[in-house]
């Protein structure tokens, strides 16, 4: 506030050191050239000087009982802290369990004899829809009620055939997709379209003719897939089953659906967004924020010391994004407290500032 | 405070050590009654202990603790409105000062009785702003939060308080240039 050219509020700020240095310099210059403001400032400083005697020592009475109460409160806070982490950890563990159960492929589809898949192969033109339906059903089973279940049952023989299709070519295509994924979702969508050289993309009538002639077009691919399956985790096998369906002519128009483990677990927990994975994974459908949140809590339960910081920092941003104000404040506050001076702490402080903003 | 909130019991004594005397100086001048001020002080810190779990790091601790102390003072004053407040003794037995500049501290000690009566004579809203800024060291922006008044209003009250105190000191012959000396 200024009064007839005298910065009255600024004089107050100047005397109490609440002005930024550059502004303080300007106000001080004014004071040096203005007798009225100089007298005001001198008066304020005189009062400040005299006010030094207003300080008193606090009485000692009651301090012991206060510190005793504080000690008990601190113990309670520690217990609460443990319990607070236990909930999300249990939820995370449950989510992992659900994913593990949900993603275990039906036994006949994965391990059934090759002969089981033959009828589906001989189904000719119906093969692709069935394959798509099979993979779709599999994904739907993973998505647990987030979408209507396809008409084809997950345990039908058709998926068994498609599950055996992924081959070295598929791996190469996946690699290509992975590379393109890094450039953005649009490139990924393009990559998901079938490559004309892929054997499984031969015209179906040609395949039917070959099969009628007794040739097993899928034998090499099956071998590759078996090798790959031995090396891969069960979730990766499910991913491999899903991939050919997405690449089939019928599914060509659909978005690529290859999934990472996280993505699948995210789908199980209700996440449906598709975006490139940060770690260079194939077209990864990222887990929903809620699923990622559960994962972070689960990971934090196992993290000790420094490795927890990136997890906490991510959780801080995530909780803020989800609008979990109290949790965001708690987690971001912990980041600021645990790692002062780090970029993570700076980012967490920014989140806290945003949370504090009205 | 954050350390205490998450269960570090050793953090609390440090917190008390840092803030308790200032909080007491604030409530003592606000209530103008030593007994009442001691009760308010104890209750303030008990509330800090009990409320630690709900404290958010987004709020400054000083803002929080002085808000508690101020509200308790006002409640206490309202409860005992019928009873005339005892004036502060001119020179209480615990009149120790932690002022770091010995010369300035000595001057301040000389002026203390004069200033005590001048502060006691301030209107309550000016007195609390003056005490929060001068004794408790709370910045104007935080005082606005503690008192619920807009910052310009806080500054306006502070200016009035300072001018009244300056006038009081001036009437007692203390000049502005050297507040330890009386004007000739």
Rounded to 5°, the CA angle A286-A287-A292 comes to 120
Taking domain B1-86, whether its CATH number is 3.40.190.10 is answered by no
Report the DSSP beta bridge partners of residue B174. Answer: B182
Contacts of A194-197 with C-beta under 8 Å, sequence gap 24+, read A194/A247, A194/A248, A194/A249, A194/A252, A195/A169, A195/A247, A197/A169
Predicted pLDDT of residue B102: 53
- Does residue A313 share a domain with residue A235? no
CB hemisphere CA count around A185 (13 angstroms): 9
Predicted pLDDT of residue B144: 94
The ranges assigned to domains in chain B are 1-86, 101-184
State whether residue A183 sits within 8 Å of chain B by CB.
no
CATH of B101-184, one of 1.10.10.10, 2.40.50.140, 1.10.20.10, 1.20.120.420: 1.10.10.10
Of A163, A162, A165, A138, the residue nearest A150 (C-alpha): A138
Q: How far apart are alpha carbons A275 and B35 in whole angstroms?
A: 66
Predicted pLDDT of residue A66: 81
Number of domains in chain A: 3
Q: Report the complex ipTM.
A: 0.74
Q: Which tokens in the block code for residue A321?
A: 């994004």
Whether A84 is covered by a domain: the verdict is no
Check pLDDT > 70 for residue B8.
Answer: yes
Predicted pLDDT of residue A4: 63
Average pLDDT, integer, range A263-284: 37
Q: Given the structure tokens 């309202």, which residue do they identify?
A: B78
In chain A, the percentage of residues whose pLDDT exceeds 70 is 43
Predicted pLDDT of residue A2: 56
Flag if A53 and B109 touch (Cβ within 8 Å): yes
In this complex, which of A52, A57, A73 lies closest to B52 when CB atoms are compared? Answer: A73
- Does residue A146 share a domain with residue A19? no
Which DSSP string corresponds to A279-330?
TS-SS--PPPHHHHHHHHHHHHHH--STTHHHHHHHHHHHHHHHT-HHHHHH
In this complex, which of B16, B58, B155 lies closest to A356 when CB atoms are compared? Answer: B58
- Does residue A206 share a domain with residue A310? no
- Does residue A218 share a domain with residue A113? yes
Closest Cα of chain A to B78: distance in Å? 24
State whether residue A85 sits within 8 Å of chain B by CB.
no
Predicted pLDDT of residue B177: 53
- Does residue A175 share a domain with residue A117? yes
Whether A61 is covered by a domain: the verdict is no
Q: CA torsion A72→A73→A77→A79, rounded to 10°?
A: 30
Flag if A46 and B42 touch (Cβ within 8 Å): no
Average pLDDT, integer, range B91-98: 36
In chain B, the percentage of residues whose pLDDT exceeds 90 is 27
Pair B68, B47: CB distance under 8 Å: yes
Average pLDDT, integer, range A101-115: 55
Return the residue in B3, B6, B13 with the most chain A beta carbons within 10 A, the one to mutate for interface testing.
B6
Average pLDDT, integer, range A114-136: 39
pTM > 0.90: no
Predicted pLDDT of residue A85: 67
Whether A69 is covered by a domain: the verdict is no
Q: Domain limits at A341?
A: 303-356
Whether A285 is covered by a domain: the verdict is no
Average pLDDT, integer, range A228-237: 40
Whether A55 is covered by a domain: the verdict is no
Contacts of B110 in chain A (CB under 8 A): 53
Average pLDDT, integer, range A109-122: 43
Residue in A with minimal Cα distance to B35 = A59
Check pLDDT > 60 for residue A116.
Answer: no
Least confident of A84-93, A229-238, A261-270, B77-86: A261-270
């Amino acid at each position: 506030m200024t009064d007839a050219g005298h910065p009255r509020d600024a004089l107050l700020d100047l005397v109490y050191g609440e002005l930024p240095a550059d502004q303080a310099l300007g106000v001080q210059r004014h004071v040096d050239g203005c007798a009225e403001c100089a007298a005001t400032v001198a008066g304020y400083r005189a009062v400040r000087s005299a006010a030094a005697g207003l300080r008193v020592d606090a009485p000692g009475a009651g301090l012991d009982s206060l510190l005793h109460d504080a000690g008990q409160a601190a113990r309670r806070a520690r217990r609460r802290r443990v319990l607070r982490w236990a909930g999300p950890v249990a939820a995370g563990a449950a989510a992992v369990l659900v994913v593990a159960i949900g993603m275990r492929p039906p036994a006949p589809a994965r391990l059934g004899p090759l002969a089981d898949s033959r009828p589906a192969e001989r189904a000719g033109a119906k093969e692709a829809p069935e394959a798509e339906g099979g993979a779709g059903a599999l994904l739907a089973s993973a998505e647990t009620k987030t979408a209507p279940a396809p008409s084809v049952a997950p345990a039908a023989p058709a998926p068994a055939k498609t599950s055996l299709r992924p081959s070295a070519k598929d791996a190469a295509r996946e690699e290509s997709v992975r590379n393109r994924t890094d450039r953005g979702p649009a490139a990924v969508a393009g990559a998901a379209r079938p490559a004309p050289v892929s054997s499984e993309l031969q015209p179906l009538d040609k395949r039917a003719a070959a099969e009628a002639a007794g040739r097993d077009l899928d034998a090499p691919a099956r071998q590759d897939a078996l090798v790959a399956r031995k090396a891969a985790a069960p979730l990766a096998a499910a991913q491999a089953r899903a991939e050919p369906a997405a690449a089939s002519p019928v599914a060509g128009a659909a978005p690529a659906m290859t999934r990472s483990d996280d993505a699948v677990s995210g789908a199980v927990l209700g996440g449906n967004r598709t975006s490139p994975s940060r770690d260079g994974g194939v077209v990864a459908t990222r887990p929903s924020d809620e699923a990622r949140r559960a994962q972070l809590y689960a990971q934090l339960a196992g993290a000790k010391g420094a490795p927890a910081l990136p997890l906490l920092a991510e959780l801080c941003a995530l909780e803020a994004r989800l609008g979990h104000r109290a949790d965001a404040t708690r987690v971001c506050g912990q980041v600021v407290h645990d790692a002062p001076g780090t970029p993570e702490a700076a980012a967490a402080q920014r989140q806290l500032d945003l949370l504090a903003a009205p | 405070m954050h350390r205490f909130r998450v269960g570090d019991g050793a953090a609390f004594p440090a917190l008390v050590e840092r803030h308790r005397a200032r909080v007491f100086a604030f409530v003592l001048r606000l209530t103008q009654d030593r007994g009442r001020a001691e009760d308010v002080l104890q209750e303030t810190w008990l509330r800090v202990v009990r409320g630690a779990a709900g404290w958010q790091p987004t709020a400054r601790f000083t803002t929080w603790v002085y808000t508690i102390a101020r509200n308790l003072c006002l409640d206490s004053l309202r409860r005992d409105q019928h009873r005339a407040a005892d004036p502060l003794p001119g020179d209480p037995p615990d009149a120790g000062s932690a002022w770091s500049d010995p010369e300035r501290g000595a001057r301040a000690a000389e002026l203390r009785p004069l200033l005590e009566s001048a502060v006691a004579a301030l209107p309550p809203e000016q007195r609390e702003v003056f005490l929060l800024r001068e004794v408790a060291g709370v910045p104007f922006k935080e005082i606005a939060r503690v008192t619920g008044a807009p910052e310009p209003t806080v500054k306006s009250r502070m200016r009035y308080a300072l001018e009244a105190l300056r006038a009081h000191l001036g009437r007692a012959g203390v000049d502005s240039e050297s507040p330890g000396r009386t004007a000739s």
